[in-house]
Structure 1
Amino acid sequence: MKLGLHYWNYSTPADPAQIAPTLARTARTAEQAGIASFTVMDHYFQMEFQDFTAEEPMLEGYTTLGYLGALTERMTLGLMVTGVMYRHPGLLAKIVTTLDVLSGGRARLGLGASWYEREQRGLGVPWVPVAERFDRLEETLQICLQMWSENNGPYQGRHYQLAETLCVPAPLSRPRPPIMIGGGGEQKTLRLVARYADACNLFGTDVDEVAHKLDVLRAHCATEERDYQAIEKTVMYSRRPVLDRPDEFLAELARLAELGVTEVQVTPSGHPAEFVEQLAQRILPAAAGIG
């Protein structure tokens, strides 16, 4: 079982001048410990939940990943997940290609339908109905796949029209950066996973719920004539902090591995670098033997 680190909180420590060195220390510690992937959020305002407000610090995601690419050598880098409304698809493909080239082929494109209305309206990003967001998500997937193919010709969609899909240099990843679609929507999201994605990312609130979502994905794969086994299954672990109950967490990892999940992302609590140090001591050695 691989573990990924999802870095979502720039508020610890509180001094903004410490954001960069803390991020750097955490990334280096994670790589040395054997963390497989490092992801950050694609938000411009912090999410409003629990004790967090929109006024908390937040960094632009792809700029942050570029910084991390220069500090690390092995971990996969990506957003969990790119909001489809935040970047034109042709430019998004170029942004991810740039990250892939500069990181030595370590970029992963995480995509989702976007949802945070306050930040979109606040920053002037068009807010459209959810059905249109999913239509745009599918066109974005098609455009990125075309940009990363030998087809440099036009793309004509309902929402996006590109005169040419030129992308030079091409990504270093072969055959291209892997595409991960985040979310567990059974009618649209998981259908798009079956049709286009290399990986899915599900919320790990309950192992039985993950099992159900994977059954839905399997059914969509049958409809789309897609090999279910070819899709990597990953889970964003969203229950209590893993260090509070390591034995229970490891038991859940084992159950997820039985379902075919190969990577679980965890979120730091407290100081992120210190969290990773504890994760390396108390969790990673045992997790490596699962699956």
Structure 2
Amino acid sequence: VGDTFDYDGKHVQIKNSPALPKPHQVDGPPILIGGTGKKKTPALAARFANEFNIPFKSLEETKDIFARVRQACVEHERDPNELVYSNALVLCCGRDEAEIKKRAEAIGRDVDELRENGLAGTPSELVDKIGTFAEAGSQRVYLQTLDLADLDHLELVASEVMPQLQ
């Protein structure tokens, strides 16, 4: 803040620019790195990330991947607790089995597979499963909602799942 800069390029020259507006984040935007790579991804997260995200994997895979990232942090002499750990999971919530099945069919997915690798079930099942991901180290969960026209789905999650997580 208060500094100016000069640039003498081939096509553009700038003198005493205040470079406004200044970035909102003092240290720049947060960096989120995600993936399931065994070596490079954890090393990149350990070196550069503010958050590490696992996309669409089971609870057991989550535990393994988070452990690799934590180990990479130690190897790079970084406190593993400096990172936020998160999961992205496909959402499929229903009041009963019929509604869950209907929503899974609408997005072309199998209910059993979504229960294993996603977030599928009744509101109470979703709360319990999010709890197991939290126990595995996940601090944030991104819910991928594939049927954007199903507003009742969003209302159900907003009214019956979210209040139990806050």
TM over 0.5: yes
Q: Which has the larger radius of gyration?
A: 2
Match of 1:284 among 140, 153, 162: 162
Residues 150-165 of structure 1: pairs in structure 2 closer than 5 A: none
The question of 1:252 aligning with 2:129 is answered yes
Residues 92-103 of structure 1: pairs in structure 2 closer than 5 A: none
Residues 276/171 of structure 1: CA separation in 2 closer, same or farther (3 Å cut):
farther
Match of 2:30 among 178, 185, 205: 178
Give the 3-state SS of the residue equivalent to 2:22 in structure 1: coil
Residues 28-67 of structure 1: pairs in structure 2 closer than 5 A: none
Letter of the structure 2 residue corresponding to residue 180 of structure 1: L
- CA distance in 2: counterparts of 1:180 and 1:250, whole angstroms: 25
Letter of the structure 1 residue corresponding to residue 92 of structure 2: P
Q: Superposition RMSD on alpha carbons, in Å?
A: 2.5
Query: How many pairs were matched up?
Result: 125
Between 1 and 2, higher relative CO (CA 8 Å, sep ≥ 6) is seen in 1
The question of 1:207 aligning with 2:59 is answered yes
Match of 1:127 in 2: none
- CA distance in 2: counterparts of 1:183 and 1:262, whole angstroms: 16
1:168 Cα deviation (Å)?
Answer: 4.6
Residues 107-186 of structure 1: pairs in structure 2 closer than 5 A: 168-186=20-38
- CA distance in 1: counterparts of 2:84 and 2:165, whole angstroms: 18
- CA distance in 1: counterparts of 2:46 and 2:53, whole angstroms: 12
- CA distance in 2: counterparts of 1:263 and 1:219, whole angstroms: 20
- CA distance in 1: counterparts of 2:145 and 2:55, whole angstroms: 16
| Unaligned ranges ≥5, structure 1 | 1-149, 153-166
The question of 1:261 aligning with 2:138 is answered yes
- CA distance in 1: counterparts of 2:64 and 2:165, whole angstroms: 23
1:269 Cα deviation (Å)?
Answer: 4.2
Match of 1:242 in 2: 93
- CA distance in 2: counterparts of 1:208 and 1:170, whole angstroms: 43
Q: CA-to-partner distance for each residue in 1:15-40, whole Å, 9 max, x for gaps?
A: xxxxxxxxxxxxxxxxxxxxxxxxxx
Give the 3-state SS of the residue equivalent to 1:284 in structure 2: helix
Match of 1:188 in 2: 40
Letter of the structure 2 residue corresponding to residue 196 of structure 1: F
Q: Runs (4+) of structure 1 moved beyond 6 Å?
A: none
Is the Cα contact below 8 Å between 1:204 and 1:210 reproduced in 2? no
Give the 3-state SS of the residue equivalent to 1:283 in structure 2: helix
1:170 Cα deviation (Å)?
Answer: 3.0
Residues 206/171 of structure 1: CA separation in 2 closer, same or farther (3 Å cut):
same
- CA distance in 1: counterparts of 2:150 and 2:30, whole angstroms: 27
Percent identity, aligned pairs only, is 25
Give the 3-state SS of the residue equivalent to 2:139 in structure 1: strand
